[in-house]
Amino acid sequence: MNYIFYFLIVISIVVGAINGKLSDVVNAILSGAELSVKVAFSLIGIMAFWLGMMKIAEKCGLVSLIAKIIKPITKRLFNEIPEDSPAIGNIAMNFSANAFGLSNAATPMGLKAMEELQNHNIDKSSASNAMCMLLAMNTAGFQLIPATVLAVLIGIGYKNPTEIIAPTLLVTTIAFVSAIVLAKIFEKFWAPQKKDGGEQ
């Protein structure tokens, strides 16, 4: 990725110099750098707020409540793991963070969930169906409130940032459901293996 950005910058400078617009290229670079700093600072407030909310939800037991509410769903989606596994709570927290557009906060929770799922994995050298399902759900990125995107839009001065909520919800819901359906279909072709190599 670094090479790609380096290539784009060099090409922009060369093309700008050839067309006699090198000053415009330099001004664009400087203004873009300034805007990136403004956007980064605008993210601090909203990220701190939502991360704090997630921590409060965890401490007051709201996450446990969410885990109980979605338990019937997780039992069907992650039927390879025990109902009392700590992975269920981590999956609930991961899902909640993603739903509020906090992908940075969701990452450590997702990693914890993956660690727990690996403990239940029969074949340690290969991802289990439950691990693939969690990865598919995370990749789809279902979002009720795209908090990070809203913060970016606010940071760049967009007049009506909330108008993206409905389209984002629609698109991520379709992607989320599609990912679950496809994961369930494909898991039938790759059944978990026992340690001796036989099918479970």
Q: Which amino acid is at 35?
A: L
* Residue ranges of domains in the chain: 52-187
Give 173's contacts (C-beta < 8 A, 6+ positions apart): 142
Q: What is the model's pLDDT at position 200?
A: 46
Spacing of C-alpha 69 from chain mean position:
21
Q: What is the model's pLDDT at position 174?
A: 93
Per the structure block, which two tokens stand in for 130? 């439950």
Q: Could you read off the pLDDT tens digit of each residue along the chain, which spans 200 residues?
A: 678 878 888 888 888 888 888 888 888 888 878 777 877 776 677 667 766 776 787 788 776 677 677 777 777 788 778 877 778 777 877 887 777 766 666 777 788 888 888 888 888 888 888 888 888 888 887 887 777 777 777 767 778 888 888 888 899 899 999 999 998 888 877 665 554 444 44
Q: Which amino acid is at 135?
A: L
Contact present, 168 and 149 (Cβ < 8 Å)? yes
SS3 per residue for the chain: CHHHHHHHHHHHHHHHHHCCCHHHHHHHHHHHHHHHHHHHHHHHHHHHHHHHHHHHHHHCCHHHHHHHHCHHHHHHHCCCCCCCCHHHHHHHHHHHHHHCCCHHHHHHHHHHHHHHHHHCCCCCCCCCHHHHHHHHHHHHCCCCCCHHHHHHHHHCCCCCHHHHHHHHHHHHHHHHHHHHHHHHHHHCCCCCECCCCCEC
